[in-house]
Every structure is written in C-alpha cells, then in structure tokens.
Amino acid sequence: MNASTTSMPSQDVRISGFLVYLILNLFGLTSNLFVLFVFFKFRKQLFKTAFTLIAVQLLISDLLTHLVQLYIAVPLTLHGTNIYGNTLFHYLPAFFDTVAYNGTLLFIFLISVNLFTMFLAKSVNHVFFSRPNVFL
C-alpha cells in the first residue's frame, strides 16, 4: 500500500469508536466531578495529609485529560479526518493533553510511593511527605 493511499474506517466503525470514547469520557468526567465535590465539601477534614494533596492534583490532571479528549479525540473519531487542521486549535489542546497525561502518571507514582512508605518505611514517609516537605 502506498503512503498516499489510506483506507478510511467505515462509518459504523467511526460511530462505534465515537460512542465508546464519548461514554468513557463522560463517565470519567462525571466521576471526577463527584470526587471533586467530596474534596470541596470535606476540605477541612481531608487536607491534613499528603495523600489528599497529591490526590487533588491527580484529579485536576485527570479532569484536564478528559476535557481535552472530549475536544480532540471524540470529534476526530466521528469525523474520520483532522477537522482542526494544522492550527493551534489542534496543537494547543494536544499539548495540554500531553502535560495532563504526564501529570497523571507522576501523581499516580507519588501516591504509590506515599502509600508504600507509609506502610513499610514510616521514617522515609515522614521525611518526604510530612507537612513542610509536601509543599516544596
């Protein structure tokens, strides 16, 4: 097959992919908004640990990822071609999607390290995740 000839997926495949992306993104967005509401409502009790602070940052990264996916992946899947072209309307949200995705990975790693040290190395947890060190 030449580089100049490409096969477009059928309309059924594009609509199926569109619906799957849309449902998963809306589910993720809704569940993240519920968690954000809980964090906001109980902020006085929850924001005493490093885990909660990292979890809120993870939540913000995940929300940004879902919003950008609703803007880029869902319409592009339905249309089948790049409807935004080579403009900032495509590249700027894609940049934020990359930053949010990498932020999500970083915060998941930090939560894993936090919980690992909390249960297996309490002195290391105190050094890295005590109150003054979390805000560095």
Q: Could you give the percent of the chain with pLDDT greater than 90?
A: 49
Mean pLDDT of 81-98: 89
> CA-to-CA distance for 136 and 117, rounded, in angstroms?
18
CA dist 124 and 82 (Å) reads 49
pLDDT in tens, 34-66: 999 998 898 888 777 888 889 999 999 999 999
Residue with tokens 């900032």: 88
Is the pLDDT confidence value at 118 over 80?
A: yes
Q: Which helix or strand (DSSP H or E) is residue 80 part of?
A: none
Q: Where are the beta strands (DSSP E) in 48-112?
A: none
Distance CA 15, CA 78 (A): 6
Q: Do residues 101 and 69 touch, judged by C-beta distance below 8 A?
A: no
Q: How confident is the model at residue 24 (pLDDT cuts 50, 70, 90)?
A: very high
Mean pLDDT of 57-84: 91
Token output for 118: 């909390």
